[in-house]
């Protein structure tokens, strides 16, 4: 278990130091900004959506290691997925990081996103891990106001 935990930490560290899909999308069809006031994490997400499917994604932002790793891993996880698939994935991810099981079991097939399981032990960090998802959902709806982790 501790080996697994170290592996998870390595992956979070790697993605926070070398984020994937960072930058702007010239032909973005959808965009949203997100902000987590509790930590100061900021993220901007550009999407190219075609026929209800994510064709491409880029992000910009500044934040803590968890929020940066979260958005980096998210960009890898959602490419090619539909809006509905993303909502389901977010439900499972939310269950994973909060330790709840509201979205019907199976926390498997989260793939690399499972690395955030340890976050549940740090309630403050849950918002760092979910900011990118709130921002992604806002982008899919093309919301103009800044997405926030606070309701
Ligand atoms: Zn943070």
Q: Which tokens hold the place of 34?
A: 């997100």
Whether the per-residue pLDDT at 151 is higher than 70: the answer is: no
The dihedral formed by the CA atoms of 32, 38, 41 and 45, expressed in degrees to the nearest 10: -20
CA of 8 to the centre of ligand 1 (A): 17
pTM above 0.85, yes or no: yes
Residue 30 belongs to domain spanning: 3-148
For 94-144, give the DSSP string.
Answer: HHHHHT---S-S--TT-GGGGGGGGGGG-HHHHHHHHHHHHHHHHHHTT--
Report angle CA 74, 23, 81 to the nearest 5 degrees.
35
Give the pLDDT band (50/70/90) at residue 3. Answer: confident
Confidence label for 129 from pLDDT (cuts 50, 70 and 90): very high
Stretch 19-39: mean pLDDT: 96
Q: pLDDT tens-digit profile of 49-105?
A: 999 999 999 999 999 999 999 999 999 999 999 999 999 999 999 999 998 876 655
Token digits of residue 110:
């989260």
* pLDDT over 80 at 140, yes or no: yes
Q: Is the pLDDT of residue 116 over 70?
A: yes
Spacing, Cα 57 to ligand 1 middle (Å) = 21
Q: How many domains does one find in the chain?
A: 1
User: Ligand 1 centroid to 50 CA: how many Å?
Assistant: 31
Question: The domain that contains 15 carries what CATH number?
Answer: 3.90.1010.10
Give the torsion through C-alpha atoms of 109, 112, 116, 118, to 10 deg. 90
Cα 142 to middle of ligand 1, angstroms:
24
Q: Report the C-alpha gap between 39 and 18 in whole angstroms.
A: 21
CA 147 to centroid of chain Cα atoms: 13
Report the distance separating Cα 145 and Cα 66, nearest Å. Answer: 23
pLDDT band at 7 (very low <50, low <70, confident <90, very high): confident
């Amino acid at each position: 278990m501790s080996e697994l935990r170290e592996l998870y930490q390595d992956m979070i560290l790697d993605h926070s130091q070398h984020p994937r899909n960072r930058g702007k999308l010239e032909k973005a069809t959808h965009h949203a900004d997100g902000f987590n006031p509790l930590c100061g994490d900021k993220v901007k997400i550009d999407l190219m959506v075609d026929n209800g499917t994510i064709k491409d994604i880029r992000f910009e932002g500044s934040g803590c290691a968890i929020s940066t790793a979260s958005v980096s891993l998210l960009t890898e996880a959602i490419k090619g997925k539909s809006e509905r698939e993303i909502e389901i994935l977010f439900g499972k991810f939310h269950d994973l990081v909060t330790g709840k099981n509201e979205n019907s079991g199976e926390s498997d097939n989260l793939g690399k996103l499972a690395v955030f399981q340890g976050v549940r032990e740090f309630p403050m960090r849950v918002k760092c891990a979910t900011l990118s998802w709130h921002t992604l959902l806002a982008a899919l709806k093309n919301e103009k106001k800044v997405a926030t982790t606070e309701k």
